Amino acid sequence: MDISERKAIDLLVNEFWRLGFFTVSRRLGTYLPEPENVGKFQVDVIGRQKEKYAIGITLGKEDIYKSDLLEKINYLASRKSRASGKSITLFIGVEDIYFKRVKELLLNIDEKIRRNIKLVRIEENNFGNHKRSNQHQQIIFS
């Protein structure tokens, strides 16, 4: 069950919103601009919460087995904002079946950098099912 790239980015954006981040730019979106590459790496989402910034990437099956994955994560997780010099949080969205593999890969990254990384499970069944689940609940009081 592979989630499409667009759906994975949508789910990652929802996680940004849930944590209070305003989406500044996103890939494969309709209304927001595409984010610029950070260094030589492509990112999916850039968010902001007051003076705190976050970068989001999604990893599919092919991304997990690339040789430069640790370099990419290391580079993106060690970024600091230009204005305040604060560390930028890196959100990594991963499908549930690859979550354990990516978590093991992150053990190879320096502890100081690993603190800036938030690993997020991307599950399709959590997306858009709120209306359906509310319709099937029994009404107790009316």
Q: Which domains does the chain have, with CATH numbers?
A: 5-125 (3.40.1350)
Rg (CA), the chain: 17
**Which amino acid is located at 109 in the chain?**
I
pLDDT band at 137, cuts 50/70/90? low
Stated pTM of the model:
0.78
> Phi and psi (nearest 5°) for 124?
-65, -30
Predicted local confidence at residue 121, as pLDDT? 87
Would you give the distance in Å from CA 89 to the centre of its chain? Answer: 10
pLDDT band at 134, cuts 50/70/90? very low
- H or E element that contains 130: helix 130-135
Q: Is the dihedral of CA 124, 125, 126, 130 positive or negative?
A: positive
Q: What's the distance, Cα to Cα, between the start and end of the chain in Å?
A: 40
Side by side, the strands of the sheet bearing 89-95 are 22-26, 45-49, 52-59, 89-95, 117-122
The CA angle 26-73-105, to the nearest 5 degrees, is: 125
Other beta carbons less than 10 A from residue 126's beta carbon: 12
Question: Distance between CA atoms of 54 and 91, rounded to whole angstroms?
Answer: 7
Flag whether pLDDT at 127 surpasses 60: no
Predicted local confidence at residue 91, as pLDDT? 92
Flag whether pLDDT at 142 surpasses 60: no
Instruction: Please provide the average confidence, as pLDDT, over all residues in the chain.
Output: 81
Q: Give the DSSP letter of residue 137.
A: S
Flag whether pLDDT at 2 surpasses 80: no
Predicted local confidence at residue 139, as pLDDT? 55
Flag whether pLDDT at 115 surpasses 50: yes
Pick from 19, 48, 20, 18: nearest CA to 32? 48
